[in-house]
Chains A and B, each alone.
Chain A
Amino acid sequence: GAVVSQHPSWVICKSGTSVKIECRSLDFQATTMFWYRQFPKQSLMLMATSNEGSKATYEQGVEKDKFLINHASLTLSTLTVTSAHPEDSSFYICSAEEGTTNEKLFFGSGTQLSVL
Chain B
Amino acid sequence: QKEVEQDPGPLSVPEGAIVSLNCTYSNSAFQYFMWYRQYSRKGPELLMYTYSSGNKEDGRFTAQVDKSSKYISLFIRDSQPSDSATYLCAMSSGANSKLTFGKGITLSVRP
Q: Which residues of B contact A95 (CB under 8 A)?
A: 43
For the complex, what is the distance from the CA of A42 to the CA of B105, rounded to whole Å?
Answer: 10
Given A101-B95, A102-B96, check contact A41 B43 (CB 8 Å). no
Q: Which residues of B contact A109 (CB under 8 A)?
A: 41-43
For the complex, what is the distance from the CA of A49 to the CA of B92, rounded to whole Å?
Answer: 15
- A residues contacting the other copy or chain, number (CB 8 A): 26
What distance in Å separates the Cβ of B92 from its nearest Cβ neighbour in chain A? Answer: 6
Q: Which residues of B contact A108 (CB under 8 A)?
A: 43
Q: Which residues of B contact A9 (CB under 8 A)?
A: 41
Contact with A along B31-66 (1 / 0, CB 8 A): 010100000011111100100000000000000000
Quick check: A4 and B97 within 8 Å, CB to CB?
Answer: no
Contact with B along A92-116 (1 / 0, CB 8 A): 0101010011110111111010000
Whether A43 sits at the interface, judged by CB under 8 Å, is: yes
Q: Which residues of A contact B97 (CB under 8 A)?
A: 102
Given A43-B88, A44-B101, check contact A107 B44 (CB 8 Å). yes
Quick check: A107 and B103 within 8 Å, CB to CB?
Answer: no
Interface residues of A in 1-22 (CB under 8 A from B): 1, 4, 6, 9
Quick check: B43 and A43 within 8 Å, CB to CB?
Answer: no
Q: Which among A44, A93, A100, A101 has the highest number of chain B CB atoms within 10 Å?
A: A44
Q: Which of B34, B41, B103 is in CB contact (< 8 Å) with A43?
A: B103
For the complex, what is the distance from the CA of A1 to the CA of B43, rounded to whole Å?
Answer: 14
What distance in Å separates the Cβ of B78 from its nearest Cβ neighbour in chain A? Answer: 24
9 interchain pairs (CB within 8 A)?
A: A41-B8, A41-B104, A43-B6, A44-B101, A46-B99, A93-B43, A102-B92, A105-B99, A110-B43
